[in-house]
Structure 1
Amino acid sequence: MVRGSIFVGAAIVVMTSASAMALDLDTVAIESGKLVITGKTTKPGQEVEVVGTGDKIKSSSSRRFKFSLSYLPETCKLDLKAGEETVKDLIVANCGPRGPKGEAGAAG
């Protein structure tokens, strides 16, 4: 009986945490040279912002949103804001930080 109670308690915590999140992200990746972010918000018409870039979009009536930006984050991390919630340090897939500048090659 105790075992069943623990399982139910854990399930309630997971469901509560998931319902409290303002964003359900599907994609955060570099695709064909662009930063692509797709997902769903908790309510339709909710503004989603890529923090620090000024890029904002409103979710559709089905709560979906999509960014396709000519922006490559230097650290391959970014923050997204929806409503009062900010999701920090999202890792961007297919991204690599820039290395140091190399020396100039021989004149051709």
Structure 2
Amino acid sequence: MQRPPAAPGRGCGGKPRTGTSARRSGLPRRIRHPSYESSISRANTMSPFRLPAIACTFLLTGVPGHAEITITESDYAAGVLVVRGQTSQSHQQVILDGRYNTDTDSGRQFVFRVRYLPPGCTADIRAGGETRQVDITNCSDAGNEAPKSPSAR
């Protein structure tokens, strides 16, 4: 005599199929290809070349505190200093002459727009452990010089 089939997802007596009873109740077993098992065991072993490759990648990408600074614009016009540039890291603090701070954006870009004329028409940009000296274009240092006394003429 044949038993009537159980409701889908249910075992004998209306209970959910779990554990070994699910296997005995006629549900198909998961069949794995032999190459699948061997690929799992290979993935857990490390190639002798993998560790040096990881070390080289770390050394080439840089150390977390290091920041390479690239200046794309440095201009003084109408009393406003504009300095644009890029660092090697995003969301990093950049400091202009120890006075003005900004952070790089997600694209590693930064911009300073300040009413400031640096002495000698050069400014220091610092990010991470690196400092870069920048020459400002369209800058005359005449505004920073002390006025000459009439007796000096």
TM value normalised by structure 1: 0.68
Cα distance in 2 for partners of 1:56, 1:48 equals 6
Question: What pairs up with 1:1-108 in 2 under 5 angstroms?
Answer: 22-52=68-98, 54-88=99-133, 90-98=134-142, 99-102=145-148
* Higher share in strand: 1
Distance in 2 (alpha carbons) for counterparts of 1:47 and 1:97:
28
Shift of 1:85: 0.3
Matched-pair identity in %: 27
Instruction: Give CA deviations for 1:56-86 in whole Å, capped at 9, x if unaligned.
Output: 1000001111000010112101111010001
Runs of 5+ consecutive residues of structure 2 not aligned to the other structure: 1-59, 61-65
| Bigger relative contact order (CA 8 A; separation at least 6) | 1
Task: Name the larger-Rg structure.
Answer: 2
**Which amino acid letter does the alignment assign opposite residue 96 of structure 1?**
S
Aligned to 1:62, what secondary structure does the other structure show?
Answer: coil
Unaligned 5+ runs, structure 1: 1-15
TM-score scaled to structure 2, two decimals? 0.49
Q: How many residues in Structure 1 have an aligned counterpart in Structure 2?
A: 84
- Shifted more, 20-29 versus 55-64: the winner is 20-29
